[in-house]
Structure 1
């Protein structure tokens, strides 16, 4: 699964460090009020002031970059606090309200620094991809990498996909594999939907056995499976971090995919088609033995009702509904 370039923040820090430019990694560890970025959000800063990512949506990045460059000079980590009552925060631009605490760590040598080997192991896990957490104790600057099954507190955060501080003072930064979006039907809507999903951090896959539809020319750079949809879904093994959307509204293609999806733990299943089309779909699925509770998982007609008309607008509506299902 290839992550979007704007999400390759530890990767950027490691590359800058290994190139000799130097790098620091800034991570939001706590927030209160209307702070714009959640705990775990990261910003990589090079020794020349380049940056990838963000910790506040632009409010305090300038101050964080200054501290990051200082950390590269003194090889010491630090925790910064910016709040609405803090003159430094106002000077940095935190006028949107709220309070954030940011951990800044130089990469490489130094008793308080983030070791290169640890960052490299994290980057390798993200590329695999496999879940991994970085557990940091700011009081002592001790750090360790934790995999699923090694620590109940970390496991709880893997499950909720939320980084944060523990009562014992440890900060747990969660690095789960990317969310996945599986789209059945290489129709026009799928083109903007896959692009938008990637920008939102999903690793998309496209399924269509029709060569004229699912071609690399129409979907350059995308993962395209030309198997029958149920066989393709069985290969992809959707999990609880997977959304599935069917777009062909052809029962011969959609129904096998829907049956496979309903037997999976996917967190979202949306199906294109009118209310009348969906009613007939439900009848077929009920005849196949699916229960009302199972059928209630289907979002159809797919997407939030925002009056979307064009393929791109429909893609926005679909991704909005996926986001609403995931976050609420």
Structure 2
């Protein structure tokens, strides 16, 4: 049995392409607005997107609020004209301070009307790839507005760093579309009840694995995606790619270890396991006995989470999410 959504959901922070395609198909029209260049400490990074519908609806953000109004008006004009447009805004010190910056700067936003310069078939292929967790890059000429999807091998550094941006020629913008971050949690315990919604807010698509029906019920975890398979079977179905974090919370080697072994053979960027130092030492020995090398086992963060003195389940969840973030962003010690 699986409760919740049957396929990988994209978070509300990263669904602009999907929403743009939906609004276009509904016949109201849509414009995808993308940050292509900005100042160094901007509240929205390069590649951030806002989608504007022909009826005035909007979702997303390109600046934190200081230029959205102007972008929406320009987007509706671009949709009516059926042409792309590159906007440039000089943000004043006062406006920058209002959205959390120390000083102002410049922001450039590309407007792409769906079905015109942004071809429907290109957007459909992009949305399909995102649904299937296949990384892609979208390359667009800022002068002509013509864009197309390219193989990730064309931009290995950008894909690895998850960094969209303008190339050295000054006219080619590359939007990186890596699979959404995903968190797989094994064990429907109190920590999981706090960790899953926190992770979703941070941009993860969370999945809970719990074969014990009394623990992993929809009543205890309303709205969550729950797999009641054995953990090794569940992670095999889900896949463990480089955009996936795995957190083991059961304390039960019969449940944790099969998933852990699958993770050590996979590409998870983060593997965390609950338990004391003594418990982790025993886990270490079991992995050695299973044939894993020391370098493999060193990928396991155990005891799980940063040492922040966490006591309650919610505080432990905070520590886990913080450690996941540090590892993802290359800030882990």
Say whether residues 1:257 and 2:292 are aligned partners. no
C-alpha separation in 2, matches of 1:125 and 1:230? 26
Pair 236,94 (structure 1): closer, same or farther in 2 beyond 3 Å: closer
| Cα distance change on mapping 1:287 and 1:318 into 2, 3 Å | same
Does the 8 Å CA contact 1:10/1:123 hold for their aligned counterparts?
yes
Query: Once the 2 structures are TM-superposed, how far is the Cα of residue 53 of structure 1 from its aligned partner?
Result: 0.8
Aligned to 1:23: 30
The SS at the match of 2:237 is helix
Unaligned ranges ≥5, structure 2:
1-7
- Residue 119 in structure 1 maps to residue 117 in structure 2: no
Cα distance in 1 for residues equivalent to 2:244 and 2:133:
14
Partner SS, residue 213 of structure 2:
coil
Match of 2:189 in 1: 187
- How many residues of Structure 1 are paired with residues of Structure 2 in the alignment? 320
Pairwise CA RMSD of aligned residues?
A: 2.5
Q: Which moved more, 1:221-230 or 1:265-274?
A: 221-230
Which residue does the alignment assign to 2:89?
A: 82
Instruction: Determine if contact 2:210/2:230 at 8 Å carries over to the other structure.
Output: yes
Contact 1:28 1:55 in 2 (8 A): yes
Q: Deviations over 1:260-309 (max 9, x none)?
A: 22222211111111223222322333344433322221112211222333
**2:11 matched to which residue of 1?**
4
User: Of the candidates 134, 139, 144, which is equivalent to residue 140 of structure 1?
Assistant: 144
> Residues 222 and 91 from structure 1, CA distance in 2 versus in 1: closer, same or farther, beyond 3 angstroms?
closer
Secondary structure of the equivalent of 1:191?
helix
Give per-residue Cα distances to partners, 1:132-162, cap 9 Å, x unaligned: 322100122221122445xx23x44333322
Find the partner of 1:293 among 295, 312, 333: 295
Residues 90, 251 of structure 1: alpha-carbon distance in 2 compared, 3 angstrom cutoff: closer
TM-score (norm 2): 0.86
Cα 1:119–1:262 change in 2 (3 A) is: closer
For structure 1, the 5+ residue unaligned runs are none
Alignment equivalent of 2:208, drawn from 191, 206, 216 = 206
Does the CA contact (< 8 Å) of 2:189 and 2:250 recur in 1?
yes
CA distance in 1, matches of 2:294, 2:285: 11
In the alignment, is residue 52 of structure 1 matched against residue 53 of structure 2? no
Contact kept, 8 Å, 1:131 with 1:148, in 2: the verdict is yes
Structure 1 residues 78 and 91: alpha-carbon distance in aligned structure 2, compared to 1, 3 A threshold: farther
Query: Which of 285, 307, 315 lines up with 1:305 in the alignment?
Result: 307
Structure 1 Cα separation of the partners of residues 124 and 106 of structure 2: 31
